[in-house]
Amino acid sequence: MRVGFCFKVKESMIPEYRRRHREVWPEMLQALRETGWKNYSLFMRDDGLLFGYLETDDFDRARALMAEREVNLRWQRDMAPFFEIESGRRPDQAMLQLDEVFHLD
């Protein structure tokens, strides 16, 4: 299963967002791998529009397993101020999942 999603990073926080993603915690990377997130990439425009892509066997299950991880809860709490999302929601709860409209094998 290929999954695409979008977020909007606050323009004032783009440099720090980029820096933090150059230094993702090793235990966060391990948790992503263990819960089925494969070939995971993030892409961002200069204005902060963020596009994420991953492959997984079951996205709902992968998200649910990550939601149980303490490291994910810490990461989501630390990342929440970077995004234009509803107050009180974690970024992993606010993902705007996109419909795939084309794929070239």
Residue 53 has which token pair?
Answer: 């892509």
Among the listed residues 10, 18, 21, 74, the single catalytic one is: 21
Position 104 in a domain: no
Which tens digits make up the pLDDT trace of 57-87?
Answer: 999 999 999 999 999 999 999 999 999 987 7
pLDDT for residue 2: 96
34 is in which domain, residue-wise? Answer: 2-98
Q: Report pLDDT digits (tens) over 14-51.
A: 999 999 999 999 999 999 999 999 999 999 999 999 99
**Residues 92, 76 contacting (CB under 8 angstroms):** yes
CATH number for 90 = 3.30.70.100
Domains of the chain: total: 1
23 lies in a domain? Answer: yes
CA distance 95 to 101: 18
Specify the pLDDT at position 60: 92
> Known catalytic residue: 21?
yes
What length is written for the chain? 105
Separation between Cα atoms, residue 32 and residue 77, nearest integer Å = 16
pLDDT at 94: 82
| Of residues 90 and 4, more confidently modeled | 4
